[in-house]
Structure formats: C-alpha cells, structure tokens
Chain A
Amino acid sequence: MKKSLSTNLRLMIGAAVSAVLLKPTDAAAHLVTTGMGPVYDGIGHLLLTPEDLVPVVAVALYAGLRGRAPGRRALFFFPLAWLLGGFMGLTANTMPTFPVSAFSFLLVGILIAVDLRLPDNAFTVLAVAVGILHGFFNGIALKEGPSGLGLLGIMSALFVLVALVSAFVVSLKSPWTRIVVRVAGSWVAAMGLLMIGWFFRGQL
C-alpha cells in the first residue's frame, strides 16, 4: 500500500519548487539570444526572422516541386551561398533600406505558384542568388552579435530545413498536394508585394 507524503516533506518540496520558479531571470533587452552560444543564436535568428525563414521554405518548396535533382542541388548550393553571402556581409558597413528580401518573396513565390519548370542550372543560379542575398543581410545583422559562428548555425539550420521541406514535397504524389504547395507559393508572392507596398508607404 502506498504511503502519502508527510506534511513536512510536502512543505519542503513546495518551498524548493517556489524558490526555483521565483528565481529572477536575465532581462532580454535588445537582443534575442538563446543563451546557448553564437551557433544557437544563429539558428534562433533564422527560425525567428520571417524575412529569412519564408524565402528559405519557399526555395525548398520550389526545389521539391522541381524534383530530386534540383532538391539535391538546393541542399548543398543554397546553404553554401548563404554562408558566402554572410561572410561578405560581415565585411560590409551599410544596410540598404530597401527590403530586397521582398523580391525573393515575390520571385520564388511566383515561380512556385505557376509551377514554372526552370532548367536545373537556372534553378541553381536562383538558389545561389537568393542565398547570397539573404546571407549578406544576415552577415550585416550578425556582425555585432554572434558573427561567423552565428552564420554557421544559420547554415546548419538551413541545410536541415531545406532537406526536410524539399524531401517532403518530392514525396508528394497526388496532384492536389502539389496544388497546396502552389497555393502556398501564391501566398509568399502576395507577402512580397505587400512588403514592397509597406516600404513605399514608409517613404511617402
């Protein structure tokens, strides 16, 4: 037969739990940090920044729509291009005000929505261009924080993300599932158009 806990023991457990829960944590001012080092900060940066995350998913979706070979190309060229752009960004000094990432949204989104069959080489150029572009801005943004190790974190997260998403899309066989992917592409393109509108609204 099970014995219930004694009152003293209960109070002690309660006090210990209270102490742990009430311990103040650090204020997270200005920087979103994981507290686990620059690599994880980089991973967190990618996963928490929709300006970067959405184009990554979009490129992976498009790679998946195109099939196995483009998917494999994207898997290796896209993260490497991102890393290259990132290191270029680390040496740059100015951040352009124009939301260049809006064009990635628009371009890749339209390509997905219309399911355009780009030649494999053209697709590789596209993935490299998007990778360098976003990596460059990441490099500028991470210069004061996680820096190069952060970029490595981003690259590793990007590799895993592209592998999972593109492999998932390649595995889709029924026509309606591909249509769902194309609808998602139209949403990405729509967001790109709106980003451009938001930018110009701020300029007016």
Chain B
Amino acid sequence: MKKHVRHIDPFVFFLALMVYLVWAPSAQAHVEQGQAVGFVTGLEHPWSGLDHVLAMIAVGLWGAQLGNPAIWVLPITFPMVMSFGAMMGLLGIPLPGIEIGIALSAILLGAMVLGEVKPKLFVAAIMVGIFAIFHGHAHGTELPAGQSGLLYSMGFVIATGVLHGIGIVIGLIHRWPAGKLALRAAGAFIAAMGFFFLWQAVA
C-alpha cells in the first residue's frame, strides 16, 4: 500500500518564517515602565528562594495531612497574613530576626508534617499566620522599586497560592500508607533544610 507522505511546501515555510520575522509591533512611545514586568517579577519572587518554596509547600502538605477544614483554612490564612507582614515591610516597620523566623518556619512546619501533628485548627492557623508574617515581611522589603505595586502583588500572591496548591496536591498521597510515609519523609527533608537555613541565618 502506498504511503501518503505530506511534505511542507518550502514557499509556505518561507512565508510563515517571514510572518514571524517581520511582525513588528507598533511603536509604544512613553509606555509605562514596569507594568507587565511587575507581574512577572512578582510571580518569580516566591520561587526564587528555597526557604520560601519549602515553607509554603509545607503549609500545603500539613493542610492535606490535617484534612478538612485545615486543608483550605491554612492556605486562606497564609496569603492574607503574609500580605499583612508585607505591608509592615512596605511601611518600614522593622521585624527582628526575619531570616531566623523563616528558617524556623521550615523547621517547625517540616516537623509538623514529619510527626503528623494534629493540633486544634486555631493553633495551626495561628502558627501558620505567625510564620506568614515573616515571609510577608521579607517580600515587602524586597519588592523592587519602579515596578507596578499592584501587579507585583498580584504576581506574588498568586505564586504563593500556587505553591500551597502544589503542597496540597502532593499531600493528597496521604490517603495511601506508602504516601503517608513519603509525606513524613518530605517533612523530615523540609525540617532538615530549615536547620540549614537557620545555620546560614546565624552564621
């Protein structure tokens, strides 16, 4: 049986390439600087530090271990309190020991996941909230100048939420015995990394 092989017409390929190459955007004189950049920078920021990433994933993991309603209360609590901490940073209100606080968040949240600790909901929410202030303050003081504050804020709040979501999705393996073990191992890893961050913060 004869096979029909479709060849790309070189002329069509040339036209497509030309469309791509010469599709010049219109001149954007006096465009406001830092608008889209602010959103992208905000999206990137929470991913740029392993301490932030691990702590936020740990919140999701712990929430998944604790089950309903903690699985959604903690990720709702975190961004709101984090933004309060960021506002403190923006206002220049000092918060001593930020790096130590962030390292402790990884240690303690990792330990909670490792030990499958199930405190009362308000205790877990307060604990997560306190750590969120440290993370938020760091974000608040690290926001780059000259970029759209709102778009930057949107970017990093969304990125933080996505990290929690990743933690929750990973945490869903908790329903299987092997998954429970894997989660506890992940908690141990996060706690160990927390000690490393603490050593870096005090060294």
Contacts and interface: CB of A to CB of B under 8 A. Distances in A.
A145 to B, nearest CB: 15
B34 interface: no
A195 B153 contact: yes
B150 A113 contact: no
B157 A197 contact: no
A124 B102 CA distance: 42
Given A10-B11, A18-B22, A204-B92, A187 B158 contact: yes
A30 interface: yes
B82 A30 contact: no
A193 interface: yes
Main SS of chain B's interface residues?
Answer: helix
B30 interface: yes
A25 B24 CA distance: 9
A194 B79 CA distance: 11
A183 B74 CA distance: 10
B153 A18 contact: no
Report, as a range, how many residues of chain B touch the other chain: 35 or more
Nearest to A102: B150
Interface stretch (B12-20, B120-128, B176-184, B190-198): B12-20
A193 B86 CA distance: 9
A194 B153 contact: yes
A170 interface: no
B59 to A, nearest CB: 12
A197 B86 contact: yes
Contacts of A194: 83, 86-87, 90, 140, 149-150, 153, 157
B150 A193 contact: no
Nearest to A189: B80
Main SS of chain A's interface residues?
Answer: helix
A190 interface: yes
B47 interface: no
A186 to B, nearest CB: 4
B75 A183 contact: yes
Interface string A9-27: 0100110011001101111
A30 B32 CA distance: 8
Contacts of B88: 197
A198 B77 CA distance: 21
Interface of A: 4-5, 10, 13-14, 17-18, 21-22, 24-30, 50-51, 54, 110, 113, 179, 182-183, 186-187, 189-191, 193-198, 200-201, 204
